[in-house]
Structure 1
Amino acid sequence: AVNAGMKYIAFTTKHHDGFCMFDTRTTDYRVTHPSCPFHSHPRANIAKEVFSSFRRRGLAISCYFSKSDWHCPWYWAPGFPVTDRNPNYDTSEHPDIWEKFVRFVHAQVEELMTGYGPIDVLWLDGGQVRPPDQDIRMAELASMARKHQPGLIIADRTVGGEYEDFITPEQVIPEKPLSVPWESCITLGDYWKFFPNDRYKSAANVIHMLVETCCKGGNLLLGIGPDAEGLIPSEAASRLLEIGKWLKLNGESIYGSRPLSPFSMGNVRFTSRDRHAYAIVLNNSGKAPPPAEMEIRGIEPQPGSEVILLSDGQPVVWEKTPNGFAVLTGDRFREDQPAWVLKFRVSGN
């Protein structure tokens, strides 16, 4: 993950199926229960191991947790037909059952907020669990979570309101910058889960998605499904390392950056950081050589200032044009790069 350039991990502690990847006291349906073959492993509490490992390497922790739970008898109750992903009973007619479920969810979240070290983000999925029919008492839940984890960011996904600190577009990047914090969650392959012979996106494709996300002020959460042994497939790992190599040279234009108008112009995306502008030129021609002269429209450097090719830290020859500025490329603009990044100051900075 570090070599891939990642800055945080979002780990699925429990998905909609209800199987807990942590040592909960609330249900036997967990990885540490004697009925699970993995329970005897010294690192059976997978969530704790993953969080601790990533934290030791300086990565932030996002704790994914599904509010809905199809295994819990207080969400899909015995004796009622299951018709969809919602509770299979009328919660207004059976408030006693629903109250048991609310307490069940609160207990699991409290376990995660108290027994797994510092948590940076509580990523709540299952957006159908919301008032009026599925009131999980979010005010109480958020207050409890933040009491144990001060500064906690919460994503009450798709619900909106004061407990959705950022929004989470799925498998899509917004067309324009948004007025609220956001994080696009997109799979590396075709599936969220592990799938044999999955079709993984190329490293160049993911880098372009990352640039597109950052120029609009968002984060990219890349979904990767490990296999049954907990291993990342070799093809997926190879993609991640390719992404990391590009970020090692050009990450300055990505990490901690902010959108910069005009955001996007042709195949160029713009970001800013520490009073510098970055023009990220997407290589859309595969591995063909770049043109001898490359024009950047919609923005121009300060007169007499340097324009730096970020990958080698050296200045390029540039000149002002009626619509922006142009740079001479040459051999330093390697044709195998998914994107080239130019760093400069603009007027007023």
Structure 2
Amino acid sequence: MISRLLLLTLTTPLLALPKPDPAGVTNTGPYDYGVMGPPATPSIVANANKLSSTPLPPGPFKPDWDSIRTNYETPSWFADAKFGIFMHWGLYSVSAHRNEWYEKHLYAADLKWHTDKFGPPEKFGYKDFIPLFTAEKFNATDWADLFYKSGAKVVLPCAQHHDNFALWDSKITPFNAKAMGPKRDLIGELAAASRAKGLKFGVSNHGIENFTFIDPSKEVLARLDKAKADLFDPKWKGFYHVADRSDEAQSAFLADWMERNFELIDKYQPDLLWFDNGVNLRLLDPLKLRVAAYYYNRATSWKKEVSLSTKFVAYAPSNKDTEQVGSIIDFEKVGGRSPSNIRPGAWMVDDPIGTSWGYTEDMRVFGPDAILGKLVDTVSKGGFYLLNLAPKADGTIPKEQQDTLLAIGKWLGKHGEAIYGTRPWTQPADGKARFTIKGDTLYAILPGKPAKNITLPSLAEKPGAPTISKIELLGDNGSLKFKRDTKALEIELPNSANDPLAQVLKITFGK
């Protein structure tokens, strides 16, 4: 028999999943930010904490907000790095259809497409993509070299997505890339190659969202239950988390989530540990605090500066996203949820290089002009830009994505002074120009090929405004002619201002 709760959980839309005790839900605004996480209760969380036997390492961090707040500092390197590489790569890359949520759609909206392409789920379910995910052309050194040439300073692969398949050599879960599929420690190889290039290395873990991720139609649910196939095959019970969604199963799942994080921390010493929306519920705070204390105590022993990165109020116990505790806040997509103006504090935005986060055959890849515009816009507001790639299942990064990365890297090789190590000015923009500042030097970044003369009203002569001693075209020799009055600063550009992506004016303030 399928329990009433199981049927409700599996057959209702995601936004209608049963919610925990309202006292534990503290999300505000137009989105229900907790729906991706498991529908936990205080007792389920308490039992999960008991089931996890890994002790807290010695160190100053305790699993409570006051201890994290008192002892945590944002890594000093983060404010200067500005640009990193994210990636969604996994079993969903094999189907290369719709998006990285293929597992959810397979058992409902995409059932016919899947059946026509691969067969019915009784014979070919999501688990059957594992042996097809071979990564036979994956070369971590080549990937790291590409990332280095792109100008990125951080590499952060998705170590586990919502589908519960781990891309590392795990002793916690048998469903991992070393034991199955590629038969390789993909995360370990990429960590070593990235660090050999001097890049920071982190991992993202979306796994907490797996417990209620699969959402079959009633018809598929009944079919597979009757056949005891795929979702109801006992051998795959711990992979799918469909056949048993009892309180006991949920506690075991949450304990397993913590253990996987502890393993990632110990094996790879990540510089960043990134969580998706599923951890946002306040009810999960005891587990999140334990992971944070574990991570930061380990980092103290490594003598490394590290940080968690999370969304909305996952690590903001006041439920104000400007009051993060022990976490760098992440926003999804430039122009989506990212800040519209300068935002103080440490923050980043994750943004896809194309029309899907995971590789699909029909995805459209954005050119370097669009991506550079988002990078510059983010940095001008005080943020860090995390660009997501979508590799193929065989381990290759499509040429279109590589071309965009290399063009960005070429521009940064000439103009990186205006990006790395900068801070936001008093305003992020003036018309199309975007500003960054470093000491007494203001950079005005002008997208595309600009007009012969540039007018910047924000730099007009005003009482108390610093004098301007020199203006240069970054990467060029000689000073530029300019005129400044109470209305604007006007700059005459040379013929050499012809970079196809953006020009940079280096404006030096007088003492």
Matched, 1:125 2:276: yes
Matched, 1:341 2:504: yes
Q: 1:129 to 1:168 in 2, by over 3 A?
A: closer
Partner of 1:170: 332
Judge conservation of contact 2:209–2:278 (CA < 8 Å) in 1. no
Q: Distance in 2 between matches of 1:303 and 1:69?
A: 54
Q: 1:291 to 1:126 in 2, by over 3 A?
A: closer
Partner amino acid for 2:363? D
Partner amino acid for 2:182? F
Q: Distance in 2 between matches of 1:225 and 1:211?
A: 22
Higher helix share: 2
Bigger mean CA deviation after superposition, 57-66 or 303-312: 303-312
Greater RCO between the two (CA within 8 Å, min separation 6)?
Answer: 2
Structure-to-structure mapping, 1:275-294, within 5 angstroms: 275-283=440-448, 290-294=450-454
Structure-to-structure mapping, 1:140-159, within 5 angstroms: 140-150=290-300, 151-158=305-312, 159=314
Q: Which has the larger radius of gyration?
A: 2
Structure-to-structure mapping, 1:307-326, within 5 angstroms: 307-326=471-490
Partner of 2:403: 238
Judge conservation of contact 1:249–1:312 (CA < 8 Å) in 2. no
1:167 is paired with a residue of what secondary structure?
strand
Partner amino acid for 2:172? T
Q: 1:128 to 1:140 in 2, by over 3 A?
A: closer
Return the offset for 1:128.
Answer: 4.8
Q: Deviations for 1:253-307, whole angstroms, at most 9, x for unmatched residues?
A: 1111110022211111111013311111222xxx5xx322211221269546111
Partner of 1:107: 259
Partner of 1:262: 427
Judge conservation of contact 2:471–2:506 (CA < 8 Å) in 1. yes
Q: Deviations for 1:163-207, whole angstroms, at most 9, x for unmatched residues?
A: 562221111242111133211111010001011242111101111
TM-align CA RMSD: 2.3
List 4+ stretches of structure 1 deviating above 6 A: none
Judge conservation of contact 1:184–1:221 (CA < 8 Å) in 2. yes
Return the offset for 1:78.
Answer: 4.8
Partner amino acid for 1:144? Y
Q: Deviations for 1:99-127, whole angstroms, at most 9, x for unmatched residues?
A: 322321121111111112x4211101243
> Could you tell me which of 336, 350, 354 is aligned with 1:189?
354
Percent identity, please. 24
Matched, 1:204 2:361: no
Partner amino acid for 1:15? H
Per the normalisation by structure 1, the TM-score is 0.85
Structure-to-structure mapping, 1:48-127, within 5 angstroms: 48-70=188-210, 77-80=241-244, 88-89=245-246, 94=247, 96-116=248-268, 118-127=269-278
Partner of 2:380: 215
Per the normalisation by structure 2, the TM-score is 0.59
Judge conservation of contact 1:189–1:201 (CA < 8 Å) in 2. yes
The number of residues matched between the two structures is 322
Partner of 2:98: none
Partner of 1:295: 455
Matched, 1:11 2:162: no
Higher strand share: 1
Partner amino acid for 1:215? S
Q: Distance in 2 between matches of 1:17 and 1:342?
A: 47
Bigger mean CA deviation after superposition, 238-247 or 290-299: 290-299
Q: Deviations for 1:283-335, whole angstroms, at most 9, x for unmatched residues?
A: 2xxx5xx322211221269546111111224321112133331111131111x
Return the offset for 1:136.
Answer: 5.7
Judge conservation of contact 1:67–1:129 (CA < 8 Å) in 2. no
Q: 1:24 to 1:169 in 2, by over 3 A?
A: same
